[in-house]
Structure formats: C-alpha cells, structure tokens
Structure 1
Amino acid sequence: MRVLIATVLLLLGFAVPAQAQAGCAVYNGACLEKGANRAWLVFNGKTSYGPVPISHGKPGYETPIGTFSVLRKVKNDWSVPYNGPMPNAVYFTTSGIAFHQGDTSVQSHGCIRLSWNASQVFYDNLAIGEKVQVLP
C-alpha cells in the first residue's frame, strides 16, 4: 500500500521526502546514510538539498551512528591529528567529526567528506544546534 501511495504521489508530481525513505527523523539539519554513501539537508521536515555523495570513516575510524547537534563551524580548518585541510568544516561530535570538503572516493578518519560545492552548501545552511542524524 505504501509503495502504491508513493507511486501515485510521484506520478502527480509530488516529491517523496528522502528522509522519510531513509528513516531520518531530523526536522531541521542534516541526515546521512553510511550504507548508501549519501547525505542531504532537511528544512521543516523536507529534503532541501541533496542527497549528495559522501565518504565516511574507514574501519578503525568509523563515523558513529546516532543523532548529534551541530557544535561549531570553521570555514578553513586544519586537522592536526591527520595533518590535512578541512575546508567548510561543520562539527557535530565532541571527538572532532565534521562534514567538510574532501575526496569522496576515499574513506576518512571519521569525518564526512563532501564535494567542494556540497561542502559550501552544508556550511552555509547548517546552523549551530541543528541536528545531524547518522544512519547505518
């Protein structure tokens, strides 16, 4: 029945929100699906941007699953432990995990890598305190 309703809505030109399909419960903020390597922004309960390709933490440096809050943003940051640039960093864990620009074809040390354009959109549109949900 749910598939039939979604099909009818799509045929009538209505978008089915990506967060509902992925199980994201964020009302304002961002969601990401590690298994699908994608992330999107959510505004007022609806997908406002994306989904876009991402990479996440490699084995031994896994990106944690759960719901977090945006803690801080740094336009041009530098990772001291991993000696690398972190443009458009949006931190959402106290252990230093952030969305930032980086090579999406390579796994990270826990951060969420985005393309240059996507990192700018995430940086410009995520506010301190908004929610980030990381799904398996």
Structure 2
Amino acid sequence: MGDRERRRRRAAVVTGLVLVTGVGLGGTAVATADPEQSRVAAAAHAEPAAPGTPCSASVRACVDLETRQAWLVSGGTVERGPFRVTTGEAGKETPVGHSFRVYRKEADHRSGEYPGPDGRPARMPYSVFFADGGVAFHGGDLSRESAGCVKLQRADAKRFFDTLQIGDKVQVVRGSVENGHRAKARGRA
C-alpha cells in the first residue's frame, strides 16, 4: 500500500472517529450546508423571479420568511397573495429551500409531535406537507409562532389546500438574501 492510500485511509478513520465521538458525547453529528449556496439554489437564482415575489417563476407556492408573506403562483405570475403567515420560532425555524415538493395533504390533520394550548394534539387544518420533518402549510393562530410550519389564516390555508397538488414546487426563502443572490447571478451585484 502506497503513502497516498495510507493517508486516504487514515483520513477516513479520523473522520469516522470524529463523527462517532460527537454522537457518543451526546451531540448529533450532522453535515450542514448553507441552503443558499447549493447547486439547486444557484439554479433557482439564475431563473427569473415571479413578479412581486422573491421566488422563482417556476414555483407553485412561495414563502418569504423575512416579510412573513406567502403567494400562490401559476405560470410565473402571482395567482393569489400575498397572504400573511407565521413561521417557525427560534430553535424550530422553518427551513429555507428552493426545491421542496408537496408530498401529502390532509384536510383535518392533528400533530403527533406538538400539543395545542389544551394539551391535546394540535389541530393543523388544511395541511399541505412539503418538507422533511412534517413541515406544512396549515391553518392556525397567527399570533403564535409555529414549530417550523407555515401557518395561515384558516380560509387562506383552505385556498392553499385546494390549489396545491402533490408534486407542486414550493420555495421558502429570505427575500433580501434571495434578491441579492438573483442580482449577483445576473451580474448586477
């Protein structure tokens, strides 16, 4: 075995030990990446935005975490919105992403993880799930932050439920960051 192969194997063993040690000490070993710097994000930034939103024209639903607004988009233009939303609280932030897809819908979902104010499983009417961890659009009390979901007023949640279909593309972004990346992608920053 050559020096190069030994170094490569040693690096793999050290990396494995670091991960195992991190988990063994009670931590969680997670590879993190900035969602704003991924190849998917770069492709989204190269695409034109749906007018009046910070999201790509190809999306069906757009969320701006900074302004706490959401839109339904069709054919590259805003079909409805902006809608007022509440998103994840500190430590349970709504994830940023450029290629989420609707994967499940439930008109009368109850959370298996989070209790409502009465201690029973929280009601999540008109749930439209689009991100890992059960992140969804759903109706709820906009005066309280969520555990990562995008909450809408009940009538607005019904509109999202009725409009969005399985497979529809959803983007969740920070508007000012997104607009900066789009300008840079077009060579204007």
The CA deviation string for residues 78-131 of structure 1, in whole angstroms up to 9 with x for no partner, is: 001102001000000121000000011211000000001100100000011011
Tell which structure's C-alpha radius of gyration is larger.
Answer: 2
Counterpart of 2:185 in structure 1 is none
Cα distance in 1 for residues equivalent to 2:96 and 2:59:
18
Task: Note if 1:105 corresponds to 2:137.
Answer: no
TM (norm. structure 1) is: 0.83
Matched positions, count: 119
Counterpart of 1:24 in structure 2 is 55
Cα distance in 1 for residues equivalent to 2:133 and 2:154:
23
Which structure features the higher share of helix residues? Answer: 2
Which structure features the higher share of strand residues? Answer: 1
Cα distance in 2 for residues equivalent to 1:26 and 1:133:
10
Counterpart of 1:115 in structure 2 is 153
Cα distance in 1 for residues equivalent to 2:59 and 2:101:
11
Cα distance in 2 for residues equivalent to 1:55 and 1:32:
10
8 Å contact 1:26–1:132 — kept in the other structure? no
Q: CA RMSD, aligned part only?
A: 1.3
Task: Note if 1:71 corresponds to 2:103.
Answer: yes
The CA deviation string for residues 26-55 of structure 1, in whole angstroms up to 9 with x for no partner, is: 424100101001101001111001101000
Percent identical residues: 39
TM (norm. structure 2) is: 0.60
SS of the equivalent of 1:121 reads: helix
Counterpart of 2:88 in structure 1 is 57
Moved over 4 A (4+): none
8 Å contact 1:40–1:48 — kept in the other structure? yes
- Aligned letter for 2:138? H
**Structure 1 regions of 5+ residues with no counterpart?**
1-17
Cα distance in 2 for residues equivalent to 1:74 and 1:124:
11
8 Å contact 1:19–1:31 — kept in the other structure? no
Counterpart of 2:74 in structure 1 is 43
8 Å contact 1:38–1:51 — kept in the other structure? yes
Task: Note if 1:90 corresponds to 2:128.
Answer: yes
Cα distance in 2 for residues equivalent to 1:81 and 1:65:
21
